Amino acid sequence: MRYSTVFGKTSKTEGSDLKIDSHRLLVQAGFIRESTAGRYYLLPLGLKVHDKIIEIVRKHMNAASAQEVLMPVLHPLELWKETNRTTTTGFELMKIADRRGMEFALGGTAEEMAVDLVRKFNISYRDLPFNIYQFSMKFRDETRARGGLLRVREFVMKDAYSFGTEEQFKEIYQQMWDAYSAIFTELGLTFDVVAADNGYIGGEYCHEFVAESEVGESRYFIDEKSGYAAHEDVAVFKIDEKNLSESEQELVEVEAERGKTMEDGVKFHDLPLWQQTKDVLFFDEATQRYILAIIRGDLDVNETKLMQVAQAWDLRAATEEEIHDDLNSEPGFISPVNMVKKGVKTGKPVVIVADKSLRTVKNMYGGANKKNLDLLNINIDRDYTADIEGDIALAQPGMQSLEGGTLTEKRGIEVGNIFQLGYHYTTLMHDAQYTDVSGERQKYYMGCYGIGIGRTLAAIVEALHDEKGIVWPENIAPAQVYLATVGTDTEVVVAADKLYETLEAAGVEVLYDDRDVRPGEKFADADLIGIPHRVVVSAKTLAEQKVEYKARVSGEAQLLTSNELQKLLKTS
| Cα separation, 406 vs 396, whole angstroms | 10
Contacts of 390 (CB under 8 A, 6+ apart): 305, 309, 353, 355, 356
Q: Percent of the chain having pLDDT more than 90?
A: 92
pLDDT at 437 (0 to 100): 96
Going by pLDDT thresholds of 50, 70 and 90, the confidence category of residue 84 is confident
Helix (H, G, I), strand (E, B) or coil at 28: helix
Going by pLDDT thresholds of 50, 70 and 90, the confidence category of residue 572 is confident
Helix (H, G, I), strand (E, B) or coil at 23: helix
Question: In sequence order, what DSSP letters do the residues of 390-445 get, joined into one string?
Answer: E--BPP-TTPBPTTSSBEEEEEEEEEEEEEEEETHHHHHSTT-EEE-TTS-EEE-E
| Cα separation, 379 vs 426, whole angstroms | 43
pLDDT at 502 (0 to 100): 95
Choose among 351, 197, 336, 366: nearest CA to 271: 366
Asked if residue 536 has pLDDT above 60, the reply is yes
Segment 397-414 mean pLDDT: 96
Question: pLDDT tens for residues 232-285?
Answer: 999 999 999 999 999 999 999 999 999 999 999 999 999 999 999 999 999 999
Mean pLDDT of the chain: 95
Helix (H, G, I), strand (E, B) or coil at 87: coil
| Cα separation, 173 vs 179, whole angstroms | 10
Q: How many CA atoms lie within 13 A of 233 on its CB side?
A: 16
Residue type, 13: T
Question: pLDDT tens for residues 295-338?
Answer: 999 999 999 999 999 999 889 999 999 999 999 999 999 999 99
Burial (CB count within 10 angstroms: exposed 0-12, middle 13-18, buried 19+), residue 442 = middle
* Dihedral (CA of 393, 396, 399, 405) sign: positive
pLDDT at 305 (0 to 100): 96
Structural contact between residues 39 and 139, judged by C-beta atoms closer than 8 angstroms? no
Question: pLDDT tens for residues 28-47?
Answer: 999 999 999 999 999 999 99
pLDDT at 90 (0 to 100): 54
State the pTM of this model.
Answer: 0.91
Structural contact between residues 26 and 461, judged by C-beta atoms closer than 8 angstroms? yes
